Structure 1
Amino acid sequence: MFAIRNSLKLVRDAALAVAAGLIFAVSALAQTDPLPSWNDTAPKAAIVSFVEKVTKEGSPDFVPESERIAVFDNDGTLWVEHPMYVQLAFALDRVKAEAPSHPEWKDTQPFKAVLESDMKALAAAGEKGLVELIMATHAGMTSDEFQKIVSEWIATARDPKFKKPYTELVYQPMLELLAYLRANGFKTFIVSGGGIEFVRPWAEKVYGIPPEQVVGSSIKTQFEMPDGTPTLFRLPQVDFIDDKAGKPVGINAHIGRRPIAAFGNSDGDLEMLQWTTMTGGTARFGMLIHHTDAEREYAYDRATEFGRLDKALDAAALNKWTVVDMKADWKQIH
């Protein structure tokens, strides 16, 4: 009888040990997946293959850490860009906040359209109207004052659809990708059509990307010494537009190295991906985020005003860039 009980105990202990081993193995496997929010589809495999190829010493495609530069668009690539660009939402809120000091805006476009929430008239104002709004709401102050305004706004503003802070509407799969690249010796940069000083105040906290690794559009600033205090004053003049063909120029000016990986989502990123991938030598990687998930986020591409993906989508097929289908390739969005 004792022998039977002893045998049963040994069997039970062995079963428990096997079960514990399986749990540990599954847990270890989960921990080794650097991209858990990505489905096991072609884009995830392409990312992992590229990273392994350029980081394996002795590989013909090995790239030294100093040359492992990856650049990311921001709007629509790292966080939500519909129903409008986040910085445009900021500018509209700034117009409304400053309107009491500018009674003339009630009868002047594009400010009149903003105050009356006339999105059709605002859209008709086009790029010229957008520049006017930016100049009126982003200039006439020091860089420190502007940074404070941005930081306060980003902490309190809410997206109209999800009712959450914009900084909570970053894409979880892309946060994992940023971390995965950095863990493999990459230096990650934001290269945005948005304002460089709009993105810098919060980029490190949200993306782990420090201010010096943000490239973006800018307005002119000048050094001044009011009351003996050194300041940088923001002028109502465009300095540089970091969009489309401007992105490679911005990369060259700020980074000084050609990236080996580029990630975007729209035609505004076309030239950045071309600059990154259409060259000989080192292995290169280009990726486009295609917004296909109307249920969890938004679905848009060729016909949208914000984040139009048309020419770049065609170029992706020709240049063998990886295209992420958000609905099919991502387990979760935010």
Structure 2
Amino acid sequence: MTVLARAARRYLLPLFLLMAIAPSAQGAEVLASWNEGEAKQSIVRFVESVTKEGSADFVPVPERIAVFDNDGTLWSEQPMYFQLLFALDRIKALAPQHPEWKDKEPFASLLKGNVKAALAGGEPAIMQIVMATHSGMTTDEFDQIVSDWIASARHPKTGRLYTEMAYQPMLELLSYLRANGFKTFIVSGGGIDFMRVFSEDVYGIPPEQIVGSSGKTSFEMRDGAPLLMKSSEINFIDDKAGKPVGIHQHIGRRPIAAFGNSDGDLQMLQWTCSGPGPHFCLYVHHTDADREWAYDRQSSVGHLDKGLDAAADSGWTVVDMKKDWNRVFAFEK
């Protein structure tokens, strides 16, 4: 795609949508995969209230900031986070270069195909896996590795590309917000470099609007050429209480809308909905075991317990996936 084509897609398309579709009609036309009900209506009411000039809740365009978690909010996160599945595939690919992994956990269990045993070590084991597969290379090399993987790897249950596991109703919501002057950001515990590779193509969110976890990066000169090297040292974890911090550091404005699906997003929603003026917070509740998965309080992935209680206490919108979405994925008939 040419530079001109990318610019047209990024800047002109949202402008054309904004000019062509009256705000009062956009909800019905753009949120086609949303069933009529309180969840959809609450989104449309909020957007109309903050975009109508003269309204007591009117918010100027520069302040229309909306933040979205990624895993479990914009695309699926079962049977495990997709970035972790990427890391597991990388362990297999890198194993010939690391004969010591045959006797070292969690790598030994992974190479034997026992993922459950490898992940029994919890967060320390996961960090070992991620650091071993996300460092020791340039940022350009990492981008290419992720790009190749995301273009070919398949989801273990559906057989679909991981990018096809994005939720169609949330893609519509992103477009609807941008057509109404919102700037949309991803604020995720996932790796910032990992998400930046595909975020624009999948979500229409450019790399500079991604906030995520990161390892340290250093500048080097190699054979007279400048490059950035990815280190195995942790730089920032953008999860739980780290999300409002990441928003402050990367965005510099408090959002007026926040969307998540787990307790890891709770502080982001609390921060957003405690601000002055109008605000909107929404949780995606996974209730559809047939079309996706059903899980919440007892799940080790996408654990939603305190957040579900906070949503009820604070009057936040909770999307019942089974009831509120007439389609989950674009590939559904």
Partner of 1:272: 268
- 5 Å-filtered alignment, 1:298-317, equals 298-317=293-312
Aligned to 1:236: 232
Given the alignment, which residue of 277, 280, 283 partners 1:282?
A: 277
Instruction: Give 3-state SS (helix, strand or coil) of 1:164's partner.
Output: coil
Secondary structure, in 3 states, of the residue corresponding to 2:30? coil
Preserved contact between residue 30 and residue 36 of structure 1 (Cα < 8 Å) = no
| Unpaired runs of at least 5, structure 2 | 1-24
Correspondence list, 1:1-334, <5 A = 33-279=29-275, 281-334=276-329
Q: 1:115-161 CA distances to partner (integer Å, 9 max, x unpaired)?
A: 12213312311000111111110000000000000000000000001
- Larger Rg: 1 or 2? 1
Residues 110 and 316 of structure 1: CA distance in aligned 2, closer, same or farther (over 3 Å):
same
The code of the aligned residue for 2:167 comes to Y
CA shift in 2, pair 1:32/1:330, >3 Å: closer
Give how far 1:30 is off: 9.8
AA of the residue aligned to 1:165: L
Q: Distance in 1 between matches of 2:287 and 2:326?
A: 13
Deviations 1:217-249 (A, max 9, x none): 000000000111110000110000000000000
CA distance in 2, matches of 1:234, 1:224: 11
TM-score by length of 1: 0.90
Structure 2: how far apart are the matches of 1:103 and 1:276? 48
Measured in 2, the distance between the counterparts of 1:175 and 1:94 equals 29
**Consecutive unaligned residues in structure 1, runs of 5 or more:** 1-28
Shifted more, 114-123 versus 194-203: the winner is 114-123
Give percent identity, aligned residues only.
Answer: 65
Instruction: Describe the SS at the equivalent of 1:306.
Output: coil
In 2, distance between residues paired with 1:34 and 1:49?
14
RMSD: 1.1
Offset of 1:33 from its aligned partner? Answer: 1.9
**Partner SS state of residue 294, structure 1:** coil
